Amino acid sequence: MRLPGSSALFPLLILAMLAGFTWWLERASRGEGIGPSPKLRHDPDFWVEHFVVRRFGPDGNIQNTLKAARMQHFPDDDSTEVTEPQVAYFRDDQTTTATARRAWLDKGGKHVRLMEGVRLVKVEPKEPETIVETSVLDVVPDDETAHTDAPATITQGQSVIHGAGGLDVNNKARIAVLNGPVTGTIYGKKDK
């Protein structure tokens, strides 16, 4: 038995199902309706592995380099996370290298936070290398300054100084200030 007008309803039913499926497919491909909005999620939009970035000055000399195992960019806040970063600054005859297990960079890289096993090594001719160790360090690369409230240790040759209240570094002025309480042992230079 056939219902009157059922042959006209069948194409309309197929068309309605097709429109519904198209609507669902479009929303699913944008991530809508499946968990939180992609704009609210902190998912990387790209990543790079085993890379080196070099920055040159107007005179063509290298100013600094960034080498890392992995870098991920996150579009929700335009931040970047870096695994095993190694940053080197070259200034006159001095080289300062910063390493950590992880780093976070804000939009534009104006602020960098080094985390876990942070180590700065400054090498100058005719001077023993200076090593700074802490757990976290906030760096402003363009100003060549750094700050931490975490305990920090500075070692130069046999001399060791520990600041329980943190550290402020100005690489351009070649000054590092430990915040107290500060303890340590300082050895003088040997006369030749």
| pLDDT digits (tens), the chain, 192 positions | 455 555 666 666 777 777 777 777 776 666 555 555 556 677 788 889 998 988 888 998 888 888 999 999 888 888 889 999 998 888 888 888 999 999 998 888 789 899 999 999 989 888 899 999 999 999 887 888 899 999 999 999 899 999 999 999 897 888 889 998 999 999 887 665
Under 8 Å between Cβ of 116 and 135? yes
Residue 171 backbone phi and psi in degrees, to 5:
-70, -35
Residue 66 and residue 29 share a domain: no
Domain hosting residue 32, numbered range:
11-37
The 3-state DSSP class for residue 142 equals coil
> Does residue 192 lie in a domain region?
no
Residue 106 and residue 20 share a domain: no
pTM, to two decimals: 0.72
First to last CA, the chain: 115
Under 8 Å between Cβ of 187 and 157? yes
Distance separating alpha carbons of residues 149 and 151, to the nearest angstrom = 7
Residue 109 and residue 130 share a domain: yes
Residue 66 and residue 111 share a domain: yes
CATH code of the domain covering residue 156: 2.60.450.10
Residue 113 and residue 27 share a domain: no
Residue 145 and residue 64 share a domain: yes
Spell out the residues 6+ positions from residue 157 whose beta carbon is closer than 8 angstroms to its own. Answer: 128, 187
Structurally, how many domains does the chain consist of? 2
114 burial level (CB within 10 Å; 0-12, 13-18, 19+): buried
Question: Which residues sit opposite 161 in a β-bridge?
Answer: 154, 184
3-state secondary structure 91-129: ECCEEEEEECCEEEECHHHCCEEEEEEEEEEEECCCCCC
